[in-house]
Structure 1
Amino acid sequence: MFVKHRWSVLFLLGVIVRRPLLKLPLLLLALTALPSWAIDHDKQEIVIGTTVGDFADMVTESVQPYLEQLGYKVKLVEFTDYVIPNMALAEGAIDVNCFQHKPYLESFSQDRGLELSAITQVPTGPMGLYAGKQDALAKVKKGMRVAIPSDPTNQARALILLEDVGWLTLNPNVDPLRASEFDVQENPHGIKLVSLEAAQLPRSRQDVDFAVINGNYAASSGIAFSDGLFLEPSYDFINWVAVRSADKDRPFVQDVMDAYNSDDFKDYAVKRFEGYKYPESWEHH
């Protein structure tokens, strides 16, 4: 059955994550009822996948209306992890995704043998160091617990942030974009790093001294960037919209790029997402 259909098992699992009460018999019924499906070359419908929160809001509040004015039907699929959106894109279950920075996209695609391409930057909430049991950087103490993302690329990003704060030093012989907790060379405060799924970091703050939280999850949890004790300064981790490499020259992809770079979207994003990093191409907007 799975040979006939272009639906991803992982994509279906993403739906299960969002609907945890779905019973097994109903799931089996849904699986047997799926039609044979192939990409519509006329492209009347564009399916966009994002993580929950700000990137989904960008679609429903601005990108979707823009594309619908051009005559497309737009469907949004929201995910709660960083793996399924790329697998769903690669297998054709969605046409576009928006949730990741370029180092993650390139690393994930290389490791999984996927042909995905970044097409345009999007406004991105900066990763930041936020208070947990301690509410100031000066309250650093021996043996404190700091929560960081568990996925490799964002963990490296968090370690770079902690190095920028001055709390640890990474091995200079290691590519910082691929660094892990095992590459910490100096840890004068004896920090205990607690690796958690990125979506769990906002809720972890009551259990740790500090937490390094991705911008989208801070925003979706109602945490203001102004509450950050330290925000990453680099543009290396601004997020991108991605498509299958085979589709990158198709007209619908250009329309998606235009939607994310229209004057209306820029005006909307600057007002709606204050404190975000905006695409470098917008610097004169």
Structure 2
Amino acid sequence: MFIARRTILAAIAGLAIATSASAAKDPKEIVIGTSAGPYADQIKLGIKPILEKQGYKVKVIEFNDYIQPNFALAEGSLDANVFQHIVYLNKFATEHKLALTDLVTIPTAPIAIYSKKHKSLTEVKDGSTVALPNDPTNQARALVLLDQLGWIKLREKFDPVRASEKDIASFQKKIKLVPLEAAQLPRSLQDTDYSFVNGNYALASGLKLTEALVTEKISPNYINLVAVRTADKQKQFTKDIAAAYRSPEFLAVTNKHFAGYAKTDYQLALQAAAK
């Protein structure tokens, strides 16, 4: 993933400010960083009320990029963050030598194909434009789905986690791929025939998950998660965060407010037990 130098400098400057603020933080306060949109809503509607009943003060900080939340977590101005999957977390933590780890998975909005020009995928034809994310992780997800649809054929023994345009063996449909930043994909629907849109950006732009023409079956690699500092994983506050996500109360919030999300294994187990 390309990271602009000015973005990193801005992140470092922001962390320096946050460091002084975090020094006097109430020990019963949990500061959670997240991306603006559905994952912030999950915390506000479901997780925050549960934790506050246990005596915690919960502060939610929303970010508009995927870089600062991990630096802020590692530096200590956040106690947890919620925006990424295990592939991204491991790659980012390794590249930047950050002692971060996954805590618990969360209900995840899938990547899907949307269109404002076509009512079905059968309308695809030679020359159809298909926008997809340009970051390696999400582009791999899109390419795997295109392969499953029969629009492209990926080479034999391709890695579904690292698939790129270099892995395309042939175009079964003579489509034109248009790589874009993930945040720009909802707007691309005005110009493209079809666009892949990540679930969080789809919802933030007013799209409904139920409007998608096709939705991926999310691999365990791409289920979003709560990340914490490795040194904090066994602390009581992290155990309480995990328990909140695993609770029947949060399952009820998921069913009411987050229809179309891929539920976690523990939520599916709760549902099965309730039946």
TM superposition score normalised by structure 2? 0.87
Report the 3-state secondary structure (helix = DSSP H, G, I; strand = E; otherwise coil) of the residue aligned with 1:174: coil
Counterpart amino acid of 1:280? D
Query: 5 Å matches for 1:273-284?
Result: 273-284=258-269
1:62-82 deviations in Å (ceiling 9; x for gaps): 211211222222111111222
| Of 121-130 and 186-195, the range deviating more from structure 2 | 186-195
Measured after TM superposition, the shift of residue 38 of structure 1 is 4.1
Report the 3-state secondary structure (helix = DSSP H, G, I; strand = E; otherwise coil) of the residue aligned with 2:109: coil
Report the 3-state secondary structure (helix = DSSP H, G, I; strand = E; otherwise coil) of the residue aligned with 1:133: coil
Q: Contact 2:47/2:250 (CA < 8 Å) preserved in 1?
A: yes
C-alpha spacing 1:252/1:53, structure 2 compared with 1 (3 Å): same
Query: 5 Å matches for 1:168-179?
Result: 168-179=152-163
C-alpha spacing 1:255/1:34, structure 2 compared with 1 (3 Å): closer
Measured after TM superposition, the shift of residue 37 of structure 1 is 4.7
- Equivalenced residues, count: 261
1:10 maps to 11
Measured after TM superposition, the shift of residue 11 of structure 1 is 6.5
C-alpha spacing 1:72/1:126, structure 2 compared with 1 (3 Å): same
2:239 maps to 254
1:135-192 deviations in Å (ceiling 9; x for gaps): 3211111122211112211111111111111111222243220111222111132322
Q: Contact 1:181/1:193 (CA < 8 Å) preserved in 2?
A: no
Query: 5 Å matches for 1:1-285?
Result: 9-10=10-11, 35=20, 37-38=22-23, 43-236=27-220, 237-284=222-269, 285=271
Structure 2 residue ranges without an equivalent (≥5) = 1-8
| Of 181-190 and 195-204, the range deviating more from structure 2 | 181-190
Provide the rounded CA distance (Å) in 2 between the counterparts of 1:216 and 1:76: 17
Counterpart amino acid of 1:246? A
Counterpart amino acid of 1:275? G
Q: Contact 1:62/1:265 (CA < 8 Å) preserved in 2?
A: yes
1:21 maps to none
Measured after TM superposition, the shift of residue 113 of structure 1 is 2.3
Report the 3-state secondary structure (helix = DSSP H, G, I; strand = E; otherwise coil) of the residue aligned with 1:185: strand
Give me the CA root mean square deviation.
2.3
Q: Contact 1:127/1:231 (CA < 8 Å) preserved in 2?
A: yes
Provide the rounded CA distance (Å) in 1 between the counterparts of 2:184 and 2:266: 32
1:54-105 deviations in Å (ceiling 9; x for gaps): 1101111121121122222211111122222222222222111111122222
The percent identity for this pair of structures is: 46
| Of 117-126 and 181-190, the range deviating more from structure 2 | 181-190
| Of 128-137 and 155-164, the range deviating more from structure 2 | 128-137
C-alpha spacing 1:39/1:247, structure 2 compared with 1 (3 Å): farther
Report the 3-state secondary structure (helix = DSSP H, G, I; strand = E; otherwise coil) of the residue aligned with 2:158: coil
Report the 3-state secondary structure (helix = DSSP H, G, I; strand = E; otherwise coil) of the residue aligned with 1:147: strand
